[in-house]
Amino acid sequence: MQQQHPKVAIIGASGYAGAELANLVQKHPYLDLYGLYVSSTSKDAHRRFSELYPMYSSLVDQELIPLDDDQKAMNDIKQNADIICLCTAHEVSMKIAPEFITDDTKRVFDLSGAYRVNDPDFYEKYYNFKHTNLDWLESAVYGLAEWNADQIRDAKLIAVPGCYPTASLTALKPLFNAGLIDPDTMPIINAVSGVSGSGRKASLTSSFCEVSLNMYGVFGHRHRPEISHHLGQKVLFQPHLGNFKRGILATIYVKLKEGVTDEQISAAYHGAYDDKPLVRIQPNWSSIRSVEFTPFVDLHWQREDNMLIVSSAIDNLLKGASAQAMQCININCGYPVTTSLI
């Protein structure tokens, strides 16, 4: 008898990350796309997914089902879905994620920031809400796929990292773990993202006619403490919004310990990533063009004396969101890590 494939429900499926994830699930050979859901107030409720995203016509034509107040859709997901992916607002994810883990077979992959940092004060300071699911906050696993595979494999709740932290941590963790960074300094991350990182809702701040490579979140962006927390060293992080659709390019400045050599840097990166198929150490400077519409991270570095510059490029909607979620699903389910991605 053929083994039944896990059924996947995506909540928040009308947004950019949710749409990318729906496509990845539908072409996955070992997963079944069970249902696509939106909030009860969404204007997309009851529309066909392919109406919003015509490129998926005849591929993903399911109705976008609202999570109505009568709990019918929620109960249906709890009863029938094996994997629940949350592409929802942070506070919404915080509230509903534990509801779906009704037994040891259920898994939740949360693409919001609700479970990324095990510190209740972090959420009051940077997300403006009080975290009320502290047991799950403590047990959630950070889904940085190349680094936390062992924990992801057995986790019930996986917090998929943010797009900026993915680009930044992928570049910095090999250096930190090898003890190459001067501990008395803060790596400086200068990153630029396309407007799709702001979400699908129309806004003047992300309109192509208004955006002109502007910086935002100076000293106060919530991804700075997320990066620092999971790196183990404070960083200085400055994001910028560019007038292009998708992708992130992070240029990172690192002061190394005295005497660090090119050979040590190379060994740190190749030791970390030579067996990781979605991280590419490139011979030239990274660019968004090289990673757009792909699940890869592209890295390149150059040293002068004890100063190092590293470039890290990702597609913010794929490796920075849905593709990394799919990596985590593959790891958790025991599938090859690149299934449906390459």
- In the numeric block, which tokens belong to residue 11? 């909540």
Distances (CA, A) of 97 to 42, 107, 246: 19, 9, 28
The DSSP secondary structure of 253-300, one letter per residue, reads EEEBPTT--HHHHHHHHHHHHTT-TTEEE-SS---GGGTTTSS-EEEE
Q: Where are the beta strands (DSSP E) in the chain?
A: 7-11, 32-39, 64-67, 83-86, 107-110, 141-142, 157-159, 188-193, 214-215, 236-241, 248-255, 279-281, 297-304, 307-314
The angle at the Cα of 65, spanning 86 to 157, to the nearest 5 degrees, equals: 20
Q: How far apart are CA 238 and CA 242, in angstroms?
A: 13
Q: How far apart are CA 295 and CA 23, in angstroms?
A: 13
- Enter the DSSP assignment of 220: T
Distances (CA, A) of 296 to 28, 110, 197, 301, 341: 18, 20, 17, 17, 9
Tell me the three state secondary structure of residue 139: helix
Q: How far apart are CA 268 and CA 301, in angstroms?
A: 12
Q: How far apart are CA 182 and CA 165, in angstroms?
A: 20
Active site annotation includes 85: no
Q: Which of 163, 209, 328, 333 is catalytic?
A: 163
Q: How far apart are CA 91 and CA 74, in angstroms?
A: 17
Core vs surface per residue 317-336: b (16+ CB within 10 A) or e: bbbbbbbbbbbbbbbbbebe
Q: Kindly list the catalytic residues.
A: 163
